[in-house]
Amino acid sequence: MVSRKHLPWIVFMALLTLPIVLLYALLFAQSVSEEVVGILPVNLTLSNWEFLKDGNIRVPGTTTQYYPNVYSVTLNTLALALTVAFLELVFSSLAGYAISRYKFRGRSAFLALALVLHSFPGITLLIALFYILNVMGLYDTLLGVIIIKVALDMPLDIWIMKGFFDGVSWDMEMSALVDGCSRLQAWWKVVMPNVRNGLMTVLIFGFLSGWSEFIYILTFISSQDYWTFSMLVYALTTGEYSYINPGVTSAVAIIYMIPVILFFLFAQQYLLRIQIAGKGVT
């Protein structure tokens, strides 16, 4: 029961948290109405969602397509997010295992380097990356962005997986080896099922990191064919026609938010773990 002693603090927290709630209420209200006063919708309508029919966002008064098709943008974003998540999963589960279980020269140095690289600001690499992508012919390709994302997320992923592998008891693995498993079989059949939570964490982190990526898309992608949701929302917000229809923009933003909301509702434990592992962007 909520006692009288706690009530003032609960109310205080409600006030402190109110701006967050209002912001998301605004997003929702905007998407189902013609106009919004504060957070109150005026004239409810579903016309903001009409672009879902063929994926084309129309600017009133013109037939020119200023924005790429929403469905191709969805595919791009999904391709980016899934590839990033999958590659990070494969690399970090192998690297994390090796670092957790093997003693080799340079192990500490490698771990230390990973930690330093993780706290390294992405901005410092942008200019060098721009040069490298151009030389390699990967500028304006999703592959270029995928490689960068995976490379920059790896230090954190390796640390997360190392932590989980450290927690698997050595005895269990030893008995698998005694029973005749090879090292790789023991890893796959005995150890991996025991770090399922770690794998989920890395997978979700990788997916969200690819799904939300904005700066690298803005900087390294120039043609609309490779736009992802972040770029589309950015263009709808700041572009020439941004004042015309905030309702459509909010509908696109809500579609963009769907996976985030799903993870928020059903996988919060993993999200918390990602934060503790120290993503701390701002």
Partner 1 sequence: MDYSFQWNWVGLQNYAQMLSDPIAGKVFNNTLLYVFSTLTFFNVGAALVISLITVHIPERVGQGYRALWLLPRITPSTVYALLWLWAVRQDPTALFNWILGFFGMEPVNWLHKHPWPIVILVNGFVGASFGMIIFTAALKSIPADYIRAARVDGASTFQIIRHIELPLIKWPLMFVTAYQTLSLLTSYEYILLVTNGGPGYYTTEVWALYSYHLAFAQYGGIVKFGYGAALATVLVILGLVLSIVYWRVFRLKELMIEPKIEV
Residues 257-276 that bind partner 1 (CB under 8 A): 257, 260, 263-264, 268, 271-272, 275-276
> Residue 35 in 3-state DSSP?
strand
Q: How far apart are CA 104 and CA 98, in angstroms?
A: 9
Q: How many residues bind partner 1 (CB under 8 A)?
A: 80
Shortest CB 256 distance to partner 1, Å: 6
Q: Are 29 and 40 in contact (CB under 8 A)?
A: yes
The percent helix, strand, coil of the chain (3-state, each to 5) is 70, 5, 25
Dihedral angle over CA of 188, 189, 195, 201, nearest 10: 50
String of b and e for 240-254 (b: at least 16 CB within 10 Å)? ebeeebbbbbbbbbb
Q: How far apart are CA 271 and CA 184, in angstroms?
A: 30
Shortest CB 156 distance to partner 1, Å: 13
Q: Restricting to residues 51-70, name those near partner 1 by CB under 8 A.
A: none
Stretch that binds partner 1, among 27-35, 137-145, 147-155, 191-199 (CB under 8 A): 27-35
Residue 10 touching partner 1 (CB under 8 A)? yes
Residue 209 touching partner 1 (CB under 8 A)? no
Shortest CB 63 distance to partner 1, Å: 26
Shortest CB 55 distance to partner 1, Å: 19
Q: Restricting to residues 162-181, name those near partner 1 by CB under 8 A.
A: 170, 174, 177
